[in-house]
Amino acid sequence: MAYDVIIIGAGPAGASAALFTSKAGKKTLVIDNDQSVTKRAWVENHYGVEEITGPNLVEIGKKQATKFGTEFVQGKATALTSTDAGYQITTENGTYEGTHIILATGLSTELAEAAGIQTKPGTEPRIKTVIDADAQGQSSLKGVWAAGTIAGVSMHTIITAGDGAKVAINVISELNGARYVDHDVLKS
């Protein structure tokens, strides 16, 4: 069965997007090949978190998304092709179909470029190329979105995670046909 959303990359951008889409009840798959640069970080500037190791941040992010039903597959996504219902992602171990795709591939533009998605020069330090996405995160292929470092945002965990959330909310809103908000209320 096809996924509502397939996310490539389980760093802050991808896992944050997955947390939102799965919590919204959207069938979500994350494909990741464990190359997150965040795993080399020591973080003291993420609002609400006094200090955390990069590996812990990534693991907690995946755990949060799993809690709401996100499925994870380990492996490299090697191709993105369009189908009647959306898109097919090919990995080393199988193929997966989804209505919406969120590319959260960090420093890697390989998959986007192989799929013919429009890119542009990056503006952040050491970022050569990013996906040419609009303000909503929509790429030149309708239904394929970009979030985090690959979308050209400032390379900080709170920003890439926030960008993943932003793009997820836009995807959920498009699937629902109405703007989406996810507010839990403090239990008294």
Ligand X SMILES: Cc1cc2nc3c(=O)[nH]c(=O)nc-3n(C[C@H](O)[C@H](O)[C@H](O)COP(=O)(O)OP(=O)(O)OC[C@H]3O[C@@H](n4cnc5c(N)ncnc54)[C@H](O)[C@@H]3O)c2cc1C
Q: Give the pairing of strands 42-43 and 52-53.
A: antiparallel
By CB under 6 A, the count of residues binding ligand X is 34
Burial category of 146 from C-beta neighbours within 10 Å (exposed 0-12, middle 13-18, buried 19 and up)? buried
Q: Residues 21-40 vs ligand X: string with x where CB under 6 A?
A: ----------xxxxxxxx-x
Among 49, 88, 156, 180, binds ligand X (CB under 6 A): 156
Among 61, 86, 122, 148, binds ligand X (CB under 6 A): 148
Q: Residues 52-71 vs ligand X: string with x where CB under 6 A?
A: --------------------
Query: What single DSSP character describes residue 8?
Result: E
113 vs 179, beta carbon nearer ligand X: 113
Both tokens of residue 15? 């896992």
Q: Give the pairing of strands 3-8 and 144-146.
A: unpaired
| Residue nearest to ligand X according to CB distances in the complex | 11
Q: Mind giving me the DSSP string for 58-117?
A: HHHHHHHHHHTT-EEEES-EEEEEE-SSSEEEEESS-EEEEEEEEE--TT--HHHHHTT-
Asked if 58 and 19 count as a contact pair (C-beta separation under 8 A), the reply is: no
25 vs 114, beta carbon nearer ligand X: 114
Among 5, 117, 141, 155, binds ligand X (CB under 6 A): 155
Q: Residues 112-141 vs ligand X: string with x where CB under 6 A?
A: ------------------------------
Q: Give the pairing of strands 129-131 and 119-121.
A: antiparallel
| Interaction of residue 86 with ligand X, rule CB under 6 A | no
Both tokens of residue 55? 């590996």
| Interaction of residue 162 with ligand X, rule CB under 6 A | no
Among 7, 11, 20, 70, binds ligand X (CB under 6 A): 11
State the residues that interact with ligand X by CB under 6 A. Answer: 8-14, 31-38, 40-43, 45, 76-77, 104-106, 108, 110-111, 148-149, 155-157, 160
